[in-house]
Amino acid sequence: MNLHLPFNTHRSNLNKYLFNEDWKSAITEIERHPNDAKVWSSQAGFFDGDHDSHVLPIHVACSLHAPLEVIKAIVEAYPDALSAKETSFKRLPLHVSCQMAEKPEVIEYLARQYVGATIEPDVLGRLPIHYCCSNGASLDGVKTLLKANSASTLYADYNGWLPLHVAVHFGASTEVVQQLIQACPSSVYHRTKKGSNALKLAKKVSTKNKEEVIALLEGRPTVVKSTTVSRQDSILRALVSMAA
């Protein structure tokens, strides 16, 4: 990130419109003053209320669930915004969108415009898909990220957590867990730094779909929305058994 870009410690008109969720005025402001999309600003407690961060308007827009038209307007005015990281946790706009459980169409747009973002870690070693799996785990959002780059399922954060671990721990739907397993079957026996595999994590949580998820992780047939999930091959079942 280039900190020599225009910087403003106060809210620009564009940021004011964004924070007020006045999307129509925000788009008009971008059309009139496209360079405002390049202006960094300091935002107190941007993510968790404790850490201040220098951000671009696109980070602000993604954090506030701005409509796709607003995101597109910002990107058209400043394409480099897609690869710009805010300064606190080094998160890209795609990270922020996934963290804030953004609309699937926004996630799809950001991933399509900058595919590299799908495997870019933040300071915690987490990819956008890690956040997608921990914040509502939208099936469409997960499918979009997997379609953009299925290799993201192989990336563990600094605690050794793969997206599958995150999805299971936070009670993602059976369909989401199924998608992650299909994208990377070997992830079912990968262990975190504390020695937990996805099956061990699944047995600890209390969710309505607990038995379905456990069945998937054990390679047993289960039913997901009237669709039978075929048994994993014998090699995978053996690996799961060894890791349990």
Annotated domain spans of the chain: 132-244
**What is the rounded average pLDDT for all residues in the chain?**
87
- Could you tell me how far CA 155 lies from the centroid of its own chain? 13
Instruction: Report the alpha-carbon angle 98-99-100, nearest 5.
Output: 90
Can you tell me the distance from the alpha carbon of 217 to that of 240, in angstroms, rounded to the nearest whole number? 8
> How confident is the model over 109-115, as a mean pLDDT?
96
Structure tokens at 227: 């669709």
Query: Under the phi-then-psi rule, with left for phi > 0, alpha for psi from -120 to 50, and beta for the rest, what region is 22?
Result: beta
- CA dihedral sign, ordered 181, 97, 101, 144: negative
Element (H, E) at 110: helix 104-113
Answer yes or no: are the C-beta atoms of 119 and 92 closer than 8 Å: no
**240, pLDDT greater than 90:** no
- Starting at the edge strand that comes first in sequence, how are the strands of the sheet with 53-55 ordered? 7-8, 40-43, 53-55
Helices and strands, number each (H, E), in the chain: 13, 5
Can you tell me the distance from the alpha carbon of 28 to that of 202, in angstroms, rounded to the nearest whole number? 48
At a CB cut-off of 8 Å and minimum separation 6, what does 205 contact? 168, 169, 171
Scored b (16 or more CB within 10 A) or e, 167-199 reads bbbbbbbbbbbbbbbebbbebbbbebeeebbbb
The bridge status of strand 53-55 relative to strand 40-43 is antiparallel
**Pairwise pLDDT comparison (226 vs 96), residue with the higher score:** 96
**232, pLDDT greater than 90:** no
What is the reported pLDDT for 224? 55
What is the reported pLDDT for 225? 52
Lowest mean per-residue pLDDT among 3-12, 66-75, 225-234: 225-234
> How confident is the model over 187-203, as a mean pLDDT?
96
| CATH architecture of the domain covering 132-244 | Alpha Horseshoe (1.25)
**Pairwise pLDDT comparison (155 vs 2), residue with the higher score:** 155
